[in-house]
Structure formats: structure tokens, C-alpha cells
Homo-oligomer: A and B are copies of this chain.
Amino acid sequence: MSPQRAADLARTLKALADPARLRLLSLIAASPTGEACICDLTGPLELTQPTVSHHCKVLVDAGFLRRDKRGVWAHYSLVPGAMQAVGADLPGVGKLVTA
């Protein structure tokens, strides 16, 4: 595995390696509409609005969330297959796919 690819994968994993962000993704996934806005998440996560907004930005930058601003509200939804892609890449580190 090249240092470049290791750095990229590490940055992606670092975006997921936080309890608040994992719960955030889970909450959005569990939503009936498949999306949620910031004000829907501050309660369950027990975090302030700036903190939740920050976490959402991290996940958007990492390619796990999609932001759709409609009027005043910002609707966040999962990027389909993003997490599956990471999960599929992980075993490659331990196998002889060291290209």
C-alpha cells in the first residue's frame, strides 16, 4: 500500500472514528424520510448546534453526507454506498492487494 493511499484512507477513516459522527449517521439513516436537519440532531446527540454543524461538515467533506439547503433548513442525507465502499476497501489492507 502506497503512502499516498494510506494517507487518503486514514483521512476517510478519521472522519468516521468519532462516536458523535457515527450516531449522527445512524440517526439520519433511521429517519423516515432519509434526511434530517441540524435542529433534529442536537437533541438526540446532546450536543450544541455549532458542534453538530461541525460534525456534519466533516462528514460532507469526507463524502459520507450530502447537504441540501432548502430555504432556511439544511437537509442532510446519506451518500448511497459511501460507507459500503470503505467497508469493502478495509480487507484489502490485510490481503495481498498491496498495489
Interface positions of A (Cβ within 8 A of B): 1, 3, 6-7, 9-10, 13-14, 16-23, 25-26, 29-30, 78, 82-84, 86-91, 93-96, 98
Question: In the complex, which residue of chain B has the Cβ closest to the Cβ of A80?
Answer: B94
The answer to whether B93 and A22 touch across the interface, beta carbons within 8 angstroms, is yes
By a CB distance below 8 angstroms, the chain B residues around A6 are 19-20, 22-23, 26
Contacts A14-B17, A16-B13 given; does A94 touch B22 at CB 8 Å: no
Interface of A is mostly: helix
Contacts of A18 in B (CB 8 A): 10
Listed by A's residue number, 26 A-B pairs whose Cβ atoms lie within 8 Å are A1-B23, A1-B26, A6-B20, A6-B22, A6-B23, A6-B26, A7-B19, A10-B18, A10-B22, A14-B14, A16-B17, A22-B93, A25-B93, A25-B94, A29-B95, A29-B96, A29-B98, A30-B96, A30-B98, A83-B91, A83-B94, A84-B90, A86-B87, A87-B89, A87-B91, A90-B90
